[in-house]
Amino acid sequence: MRCEMIMEKLEELSPVMYASEWDNVGLQIGRRDKEVKSIYIALDATDEVIEDAIKKGADMLLTHHPMLFSPVKKITGENFIGRRIIKLIQNDISYYAMHTNFDVMGMADAAADEIGLKHRKVLETTFEDEISKEGFGRIGKLPRIMTLRECVRLVKEKFGIDKVKVFGDLEADLEVAAISPGSGKSMIKHAIKGGAGVLITGDIDHHDGMDAVAQGLFIIDAGHFGLEQIFVPYMEEYLKRECKDVEVIAYKGNAPFVIL
């Protein structure tokens, strides 16, 4: 199956038009006409991921976070990005990233499904026409009224997370929740406006967490990696269904950090 045919499947799921203007999605390295027999999926194109993709003989690498954001003026072995690009080209691996387009068309509903949000709506609208309204995150009713402590347990169980950072009264009851995988600081105002009792997201700092609570919004910071790791199994299932003749390899590594 040619790379361009796989790209068509990826863009049926998450059209490039939904990506933010600042983002860099799509085919970043390699040939559209490359014959692909195996795809390697990971959250990031790290050295470990690229080495494992090479070891396993992958023809295409798919990640959520783009390896290339800013223009590259030199491709040499003198910096880590250059070395990664060289390795991918040397091994004829086509590299594709689906980032904010997947956040809007894929990640948001997948995360909401995990915690069972009902009657959900888009948290921050980034695209709207006569037919639909799309955007980052989702807001809706929890499966039942539960305390913040119970909501924390739900998040940890569904996303396979050992520890989260929580701002708020653990015994307070919650009915409406917002969830936005990734860095969620900018989602706080949308969650408050939507009437959420808690925002489940990542990368919330000390002051933003305290300020959110002062405005009546609790925070469950499950980490950037903690929530977005669902990209790998989600895309693994999708590609196995849509590209049956292609081997799909999912990255099995751990988070790129430890909490001691």
Contacts of 74 (CB under 8 A, 6+ apart): 82
Tokens of 93: 């691996």
Question: What pLDDT score does 130 carry?
Answer: 86
Nearest to 14 by CA among 180, 231, 178, 228: 231
∠ Cα 237 223 29 (to 5°): 55
3-state SS class at 177: strand
What is the phi/psi pair of residue 215, to 5°? -100, 10
Q: What is the pLDDT of residues 38-76, one digit of tens each?
A: 999 999 999 999 999 999 999 999 999 999 998 899 999
Average pLDDT over residues 18-37: 97
> Do the beta carbons of residue 149 and residue 174 sit within 8 Å?
no
> Do the beta carbons of residue 128 and residue 35 sit within 8 Å?
no
What pTM was estimated for this model as a whole? 0.96
Question: What pLDDT score does 255 carry?
Answer: 87
Structural domains for the chain: 3-101+229-250 (3.40.1390.30), 103-225 (3.40.1390.30)
Q: What is the pLDDT of residues 67-122, one digit of tens each?
A: 999 889 999 999 999 999 999 999 999 999 999 999 999 999 999 999 999 999 99
Q: What is the pLDDT of residues 131-143, one digit of tens each?
A: 889 999 999 999 9
The Cα 137–Cα 126 span in angstroms is: 11
3-state SS class at 135: strand
Strand partners, 138: 122, 179
